[in-house]
Structure 1
Amino acid sequence: MNNLILTSSILPNSIKLYDEFMNRHDTIRANKLLDIIEKVYQKQLYIAFTGHFSAGKSSMINEVVGEHVLPTSPIPTSANIVLLQRGEKKVKITLHNGKTTQIDGEYDIEKIKGYCKQGEEIQKLSIFDNNFQISNHLTIIDTPGIDSTDQAHKLATESTLHTSDYLFYIVDYNHVQSEENFAFVSEMLEKGKNLYFIINQIDKHREEEGDFLTYRTKINSALTQLGLKENHIYYTSLRNKDYPYNELSQVKQLFNAIIKEGQEQIFSLAQQHINGLVEEHLQFIEDQEQFQRNEKVAIEEKLKEEKALLDQTTNQVTNLNEQAERLEKELKNQVQQILKNANIIPFETREKAKRFIESQAPQFKVGLFFSQKKTEQEKNHRADRLLEDLAAHTKANIDWHMTNLFMNKYQSSGVKDEEIINIIQSFKTEIDQKLLQTTIKKGASFTDQYVMTYSTDISEAIKQRAREQTNNLIHTFIKQLRESNSLAIEELEEKQHSYKESIQKYEGEMIKINRLLLYQGQLFSVLEKQIEEPFEVKDWLDSVSKKNIEVHEQWSLRESKKVEKEDRPSISIKKDRVVDSDKILKALKNTFKTIQPLEDFQFLSDSLMDRLSSIEQKTFTVALFGAFSAGKSSFANALIGEKVLPSSPTPTTATINKIAPVSSDYPHGTVSIYLKNEEEFLADLNGMILDVSTEAKSLEEAFKKIEKLVNKNQLEERYKVYLQAITEYKSYPSKFVSSTLSEFSTFVAEEDKACYVKEVIIYYDCKLTRQGITLVDTPGADSLHKRHTEVAFSYIKNADAILFLTYYNHPFSKGDQRFLKQLGRVKDAFSLDKMFFIINAIDLASNEEEILDVKNYIDGQLTRQDIRQARIYGVSSLNELFNQKNKNEDDFKVFRKDFTRFIKHDLMEATLLSAENEIAKVSNYLNKIIESSQKKQSEKENEIFHLRNEQQLLLQTIHKNSPEILEKQIKSELAEQVHYIKQRIGFQYPNFFKEAFHPGVFRDQKPTIALDKSVTELIQSIHFEIDQELSALIIRSEQYLKSLLTNWIKEKKEDVIILNSEMILSQPSLTDFSIPTLHVTINELKSSFFKDELKLFKGTKSFFEQNQKQMMSEAVWQKIEELIEKQLALNEENFIISYTSLLTKKMDELVAKFEHEINQMYESMLFSLEKEQDIAGLLHAKNSLSEWIS
């Protein structure tokens, strides 16, 4: 539709067009056209500022207009659209409901800044002031950041694009090469927008990190490859206007040039905008017409259905009433069946019941000395063991089945009640010691027959409790069902009434449809008509504006709360005692030194040596996470105290960098570079091309495909680097490169090499690494390199500490949010809070209040991810590295103190407590040897006999296991976890659908293309969520398995102590857990899989305004839900096989370890009894030990 509107008639024809839009209820296009009409009438040129939040958009605008009118802050400020124009002082405020209010004359600048932050109420502010140092015919637009975590900010930005003649895209110097930047630039250039790209805050550049001109060349190359002209790229600094490469003055000159050029093109630019709106409107009408035709058919069908519906209503009401009675009967029968089949007291539990019953006998006694206390302890122990067993069997055989039963019935009933869901999900049969005791019959003789009787009684008592709970739940459930059915009956009657009304509307609908067929021709007639009579545009604009005007007093500023500074605990220690690591280590060394010369203590001295080595050679993995260019490499250098890792404003960490302790094989300064094998590198390449090509089977094939795609412009220019990378990769046949500190940086920072590097290990001797710490610098979460994010899971799971960095001037980006969401999923599985949150570059803050604002903002964002009581530190890595004093408070020293304490005490606590046990074991053994050596020969012979019997009893005890019970617990736990994963995905699904199917995606492309893109994004979102949920389940399952094994070890130790109170088994370290393979293939679905569901789309208006979006969402969910269930079931089975096998393997390993310890101890004791001992030497050793362990 070229040149549809002639310049001389643009305003009157546009007004006619506006009326047509409104008559057709196309308010979206009408409002956009109204903006253009006002713009053309006032001969205004619109320049919009967009880009990253906190990149300096508002500061740049303040600089251009010569007034500090917009709020500036390192956290998101502008939450709405702000328009600045030169003119008589006034502020026009447009609310989201379309109403407007106006403040004439002087205004409070601080209130205006407050309005700019109120995005929830205010859609747009228009600020007029004669002091603005801009042309009378220029309007400057400020928009929210496109990379804010608030989706409303992005939508607000997109809503301004239809009127903007020029776009100034502002980015932070440290965040230029993000995928989001490149995607936005590409999109705007495709739409023909006049785009200028401004890299702000270049004063952050440090020449020692690289030459600025080289940096500029690299950035310009990346942007021009997208199609942006090089003379549309500028580098600026507002903080240091004298900075050598500052092009701020050129930007101001550009403004003047644009104004001069734009004034001559106002009408032609407006014509382009209007032509685009006409195209959109015609598409809207076509969609609406198709919808109306289908609606006609639908009405006819409804009229037929209505007659049958009148007759069916009574039957449906009867069925609904019977549903409640039928469901109540079914539930009671199935509950009874579950209870009947529930075997909660198998043989092993009866044995524990027998031991419990024995302990309740009046004559029950343990030991000769201090028997009352020991007896009471044994009674409690036996009761606890029985309770634990009963609770586990009840959960596995009753509670989980009840939860499944009621959840299945609930989901099929149609009832929607969160309270009932909560009751079902938290169903648990309560069992306590009182129940165990009161079930014992008075006067009963404690025989084997009575054990069977008691087992039956306690089983029935527990089942009775479960029965009572289910009866209450059934009552609540049925009551809610009846209420729900009552509402359904009312709705049926209302539908009958609505169908009757539809008959009356039918004739009117037919008239509308016929009119639509003629509309397109009429529309072209309006556009092409020459208006000769005078037309008062101002009067028309005034009349339109008055429809929405409100008096100022009817709306007022919502006061924002002032956040006061709060004292944050640097680190919380929740322990009954503080372990003195230095004291224990010293005691361990001296104990080893004391017993090493003793002849019969070799096995103990070996054990002490192993324990000592494990403490002294203990290693820790500390992982650095954060969005790219958050300063992770700089922070790592600051921690080390030297510049080891290369740091740069472009993404340098394209590989995994490790700074590790030195060794004899790897002295200080050695660098080991490990390249990816061919399979790994090929997987990376295929991940890059699969969206536009088929999978490559070899590197040679991948090379040809990439070359072909680049030549056809089907693959972005920046991927050309892989053509060179593939060639270079072949020159390293060993896939290992040995390097040095001065040479390795090219493999880390240059993408043509880094893309095929798997990891780099730098062996560096410093205070940090001498503590056994390996520092891992990971790739940025929001870099354009998609493979950067793939390493996160492994380090979340295995790292001893996680240091999460966010950038002060750009806190909590989308990349941060994605990572922290996953961290929030698994945080409860960590035995310790191992997370530290670092706000880097705190030296950029203007004052302490600004720092507090950022910390509170970060804390709030973490809370949204369910990460509470976070340890947050504001630091300056550069100041720390170069020993520069910060004008603001810097938490680096506080962080070092807290971090050191965490490493030396919190992480070492379990190891140190095990060392204490080793020392106690030595002391007990020494005392036993001294005591035995002083006995007579006959007593020694008796002792030998007793020890051999005791040894056999202990071996029998540790070999007596029931892994089946633990396996059932694992299966039950996994079933429950997978069940809740499906629920969470179901809860998240509406958000995924909303994000994928939004109005913006239908704005500038055909519905078929938009639907294809939307459903593809939906599939990818669901795939990613399932993958993340299952990855989190791996961590939770491993921790659950560890807890089962820990309890099993505790029970074994207790069983051993009952037989020999001086036999202390070691506390093994539960490590080396294999990870099950995930099977998630949802992303392999194509949009054609949902072709029937996508047919529900009848037009944009009906889709978003008449509930069709909800209908499609439900239809798609019904189809994909079954696939999700199958994939979750497949992974659940895989997890069960993996973790039950691992359980058996670990139990076998532990039994073998304990057997070896028992045999070592007893064989040594038996040997000592058969030979003469150096009593004086033993007593000397005892005295020495008492000094160290007192």
Structure 2
Amino acid sequence: MTGQQTKGGSSYRDRLEAALALVEPLSGATSQVTMLRQLQARIEQQQALVAVFGAFSAGKSSLLNALMGEPLLAVSPNPTTAAVTRIEVTSGDKLRIRAKDESELWSDVDGALRRLGHSAGSLSAAVAYANQLSGAKLSSSARPAYAFLRSVAAGYEDMAPRLGSDWRTSQEEMKKYTADERYACYLADVTVSVPGGQIPEGFVFVDTPGVDSIHRRHTEVAFSYMREADAILFVLYYTHAFSRADKNFLQQLAGVQDVMGTDKLFVVINAVDLARSETERQAVRERVEEELLQLGIRRPRIYEVSSQIALAARQLASHDAGLSGANAQGDASASSAAFEQLVRQRLHLSAEQPLPPVDQLLEQSGIPALTADLQEFAIHSREQMQEDAVERTLSFVGQSLQAEWLRKKTLASAALADAAALAAAIEDGIAFLKSDASSDSSDLEQEFRVLSEEWTELQFHIGERIRLRFAGLFREAFYPGRFRGNVAPKLALKEAALELVQMLEGQVDMEMRTFALRVAGALPLALQQKMNRTRAALAKELQPLLGDKELVLPSELVDWSHLRAALDTTDVEKEFRHFSNAKSFFEGSGQSDMLAASEPGMMQSVRSEIERMSQSVFAAAKAAAVSCWSDVQESWLRELQDLTETDASGGTELSRWEEAIHSYFDDIRPRETGLMSAQRGHSDGAEVQR
């Protein structure tokens, strides 16, 4: 991946290298050189990250196998498998497994117990409970939690000693660990490296836990990848309708993309070869487009693929070329026959009919078109991010170089003119900054008062959006199928109430994560305004000497594993009086009456949680801003104190700096801020007068 051509034909990498060559020889430019070198190192190490999302049965692993051209990942039908798998396209050879640590496992186990209305004091107690658990009378919605707990119990003896550890493994062992639920439920992540081929080196694909995972922790993992990925593949299975989990994920992604100003979603409809006609296939695509539009995805990129046909075609091509695939074991002919049989079955070909050519199969699968567009987009996205980072850094370095040059020039002038006046201004500046530092950052309150009005309005709209979804969530929890079979009505009601509460908790968590992203995005501007006001309050001759400082803010304001919505079923359970039997509940007014009666109390609880979590976000934002501002103050104080201790620069050094500054802006040409332009105009004017 090479730098894009910009700024008169030079790539951003070339400009970064040129800036280093210009700045390194300057005495006193150590911090600027360090910043440029660190950015250069990050650019060299960065990879194009593609995150793959979808429900457990959508075919994510199958799609990744098709993209890689080999059956790399186990394709498990079990919906509780939830390890994150990283596929790194590189020349290295890596197969590593990391097991969950005890806290990660306990988070998943405790959440599963809660879904069953149970609790345990320890992991061993939970395992003992799971061993006695019977799924005979459980509803379908409770079965994933039951299956997970049973798997934990089945693998506990083998996997407990491995908690918190990681180890190298073989392809065969990796498939065993990821396909067998006794082991898979203990895995945190798996890392696999493959050589470049279908996909060029430098790409990383992440197979994430299903968006319908029962584990709340996985929504935090998903949110992280939403922000970090260069491209997102969202996989839908051809025959599946949009689930609540699909909608939740896409709603949150739409919010994140809105905040970040990005559009990196690729929607993949997998297994389109199951279509019985072109008309049916087109109808499915139109349904997907309509659903996406309703969820806030206005111009989706939609790809229709058959991952199994693509993988079969590539494996058949490898066999025809006398290859057996990078990871194939055993009888290659038998493997080839299995893939041929799969193609015949999917394309409805008899044993006598010839198979289409491999190239035709690949084209028909839709995978080559997806691969080409995905690569182009991800590379462009990464290049754009890197170029923006270089532009920001070059601007910042240019500004700090100017401030240092003006400092040196001011000292040189003071040595010949009124040194006493400058010294007095410096002392006053130091006193002012110390006073400002001891004022408990009260001036930041002005920025936060303005922001809090906007944030309070956002809180209100969060509550309103969830209120508008309440009826739909209620009906999803209290649905007719839950009350069929041998399940006791009282148990079914409790399960429905618990599911409703958990869905509402998920809605609050989802909205608050996006809200925190908006809050974090407002901090740099607030700090910049504070910086400008403080600098303007200093003596005029000091202002050009104190440049903007890099604002170091946390990438995540709060730890979402410790800040989650917590609701209970009380407001719903007290309205169980509206249920007498399933027939009257669903055919009469029972369901509507219970919904109407429980909504006010539940929404009051939801709004209370929004307020509680918002206050935590506000407090974290303020703490981050105060800490960042404290760093700026300390840096400025050091610079002013250094001015009182530094001798004037010699004429030769000052000339070297002056020449470098002019070359930097003429040759490197960073994006100039208003302050930089003003400083440059001031210094250019001084040069003319001189």
TM value normalised by structure 2: 0.72
After superposition, the C-alpha distances for 1:61-111 in whole angstroms (9 at most, x for unaligned) are xxxxxxxxxxxxxxxxxxxxxxxxxxxxxxxxxxxxxxxxxxxxxxxxxxx
Shift in CA distance, 1018/954, structure 1 to aligned 2, threshold 3 Å: same
Shift of 1:1086: 9.1
Shift of 1:911: 1.2
C-alpha distance in 1 between matches for 2:157 and 2:218: 25
After superposition, the C-alpha distances for 1:641-692 in whole angstroms (9 at most, x for unaligned) are 7765444566695301124588xxxx92234422223343344344445566
Pick one of 441, 457, 460 that aligns with 1:979.
460
Contact 1:1041 1:1143 (C-alpha < 8 Å) held by counterparts: no
Higher relative contact order (CA 8 A, sep 6+): 2
Shift in CA distance, 866/1137, structure 1 to aligned 2, threshold 3 Å: same
2:622 is equivalent to residue 1140 of structure 1: yes
Contact 1:970 1:1136 (C-alpha < 8 Å) held by counterparts: no
Shift in CA distance, 846/954, structure 1 to aligned 2, threshold 3 Å: farther
Pick one of 667, 674, 680 that aligns with 2:104.
680
- The RMSD of aligned alpha carbons is 4.6
- Residue of structure 2 in register with 1:476 after alignment: none
- Residue of structure 2 in register with 1:735 after alignment: 165
2:565 is equivalent to residue 1080 of structure 1: yes
- Residue of structure 2 in register with 1:705 after alignment: 129
Shift of 1:1073: 2.6
C-alpha distance in 2 between matches for 1:594 and 1:1179: 12
Amino acid at match of 1:1071: P
Structure 1 residues without counterparts, runs of 5 or longer: 1-576
Contact 1:930 1:1179 (C-alpha < 8 Å) held by counterparts: no
Contact 1:661 1:763 (C-alpha < 8 Å) held by counterparts: yes
SS in 2 for 1:1075: coil
Structure 2 residues without counterparts, runs of 5 or longer: 318-357, 670-690
After superposition, the C-alpha distances for 1:941-992 in whole angstroms (9 at most, x for unaligned) are 5896598469649957985761223443455445433433333333333333
Contact 2:512 2:614 (C-alpha < 8 Å) held by counterparts: no
- Residue of structure 2 in register with 1:314 after alignment: none
SS in 1 for 2:551: coil
2:636 is equivalent to residue 1115 of structure 1: no
- Residue of structure 2 in register with 1:1046 after alignment: 525
Alignment of 1:928-943 (within 5 A): 928=406, 938-939=416-417, 941=419
Pick one of 897, 900, 906 that aligns with 2:379.
900
- Residue of structure 2 in register with 1:632 after alignment: 60
- 648-657 or 588-597: bigger deviation: 648-657
Shift in CA distance, 1142/971, structure 1 to aligned 2, threshold 3 Å: same
Contact 1:1065 1:1154 (C-alpha < 8 Å) held by counterparts: no
After superposition, the C-alpha distances for 1:837-863 in whole angstroms (9 at most, x for unaligned) are 233456777898776554433221111
Amino acid at match of 2:176: T
- Residue of structure 2 in register with 1:856 after alignment: 286
- Residue of structure 1 in register with 2:352 after alignment: none
Amino acid at match of 2:416: S
After superposition, the C-alpha distances for 1:533-565 in whole angstroms (9 at most, x for unaligned) are xxxxxxxxxxxxxxxxxxxxxxxxxxxxxxxxx
Instruction: State the identity %.
Output: 20
> Larger Rg: 1 or 2?
1
After superposition, the C-alpha distances for 1:1025-1048 in whole angstroms (9 at most, x for unaligned) are 233223321332232233133243
Shift of 1:777: 1.3
Shift in CA distance, 1082/892, structure 1 to aligned 2, threshold 3 Å: same
2:391 is equivalent to residue 913 of structure 1: yes
C-alpha distance in 2 between matches for 1:1111 and 1:780: 34
Pick one of 436, 444, 453 that aligns with 1:963.
444
After superposition, the C-alpha distances for 1:394-420 in whole angstroms (9 at most, x for unaligned) are xxxxxxxxxxxxxxxxxxxxxxxxxxx
Contact 2:571 2:598 (C-alpha < 8 Å) held by counterparts: no
Shift in CA distance, 930/1094, structure 1 to aligned 2, threshold 3 Å: closer
SS in 1 for 2:133: helix
2:228 is equivalent to residue 749 of structure 1: no
After superposition, the C-alpha distances for 1:179-201 in whole angstroms (9 at most, x for unaligned) are xxxxxxxxxxxxxxxxxxxxxxx
2:506 is equivalent to residue 1027 of structure 1: yes
Shift of 1:633: 3.1
Contact 1:820 1:865 (C-alpha < 8 Å) held by counterparts: yes
Contact 2:483 2:492 (C-alpha < 8 Å) held by counterparts: no
- Residue of structure 1 in register with 2:299 after alignment: 869
Shift in CA distance, 584/692, structure 1 to aligned 2, threshold 3 Å: closer
C-alpha distance in 2 between matches for 1:710 and 1:597: 74
After superposition, the C-alpha distances for 1:580-624 in whole angstroms (9 at most, x for unaligned) are 996232122122123322333333323332333344344665422
Shift in CA distance, 1003/957, structure 1 to aligned 2, threshold 3 Å: same
Aligned residues: 599
C-alpha distance in 1 between matches for 2:583 and 2:660: 90
- Residue of structure 2 in register with 1:990 after alignment: 471
2:495 is equivalent to residue 1065 of structure 1: no
Shift in CA distance, 704/1123, structure 1 to aligned 2, threshold 3 Å: same
Pick one of 649, 664, 667 that aligns with 1:1188.
667
Shift in CA distance, 781/1101, structure 1 to aligned 2, threshold 3 Å: closer
TM value normalised by structure 1: 0.44
- 845-854 or 888-897: bigger deviation: 845-854
Amino acid at match of 1:592: L
2:266 is equivalent to residue 836 of structure 1: yes
Shift in CA distance, 657/737, structure 1 to aligned 2, threshold 3 Å: same
C-alpha distance in 1 between matches for 2:404 and 2:101: 55
- Residue of structure 2 in register with 1:592 after alignment: 20
C-alpha distance in 2 between matches for 1:1097 and 1:779: 37
Contact 2:430 2:637 (C-alpha < 8 Å) held by counterparts: no
C-alpha distance in 2 between matches for 1:832 and 1:657: 25
SS in 1 for 2:554: coil
C-alpha distance in 1 between matches for 2:410 and 2:216: 66
After superposition, the C-alpha distances for 1:265-312 in whole angstroms (9 at most, x for unaligned) are xxxxxxxxxxxxxxxxxxxxxxxxxxxxxxxxxxxxxxxxxxxxxxxx
C-alpha distance in 2 between matches for 1:734 and 1:1103: 49
- Residue of structure 2 in register with 1:805 after alignment: 234
Shift of 1:756: 0.9
After superposition, the C-alpha distances for 1:413-466 in whole angstroms (9 at most, x for unaligned) are xxxxxxxxxxxxxxxxxxxxxxxxxxxxxxxxxxxxxxxxxxxxxxxxxxxxxx
Alignment of 1:614-653 (within 5 A): 614-618=42-46, 622-636=50-64, 644-647=72-75
Shift of 1:705: 2.2
After superposition, the C-alpha distances for 1:253-276 in whole angstroms (9 at most, x for unaligned) are xxxxxxxxxxxxxxxxxxxxxxxx
Shift in CA distance, 904/713, structure 1 to aligned 2, threshold 3 Å: same
- Residue of structure 2 in register with 1:410 after alignment: none
SS in 1 for 2:373: helix
Shift in CA distance, 682/597, structure 1 to aligned 2, threshold 3 Å: closer
Amino acid at match of 2:22: T
Amino acid at match of 2:242: S
After superposition, the C-alpha distances for 1:230-253 in whole angstroms (9 at most, x for unaligned) are xxxxxxxxxxxxxxxxxxxxxxxx
Contact 1:625 1:804 (C-alpha < 8 Å) held by counterparts: yes
Shift of 1:625: 0.6
Alignment of 1:776-787 (within 5 A): 776-782=206-212
Shift in CA distance, 893/1098, structure 1 to aligned 2, threshold 3 Å: closer
Shift in CA distance, 913/940, structure 1 to aligned 2, threshold 3 Å: farther
C-alpha distance in 2 between matches for 1:953 and 1:592: 36
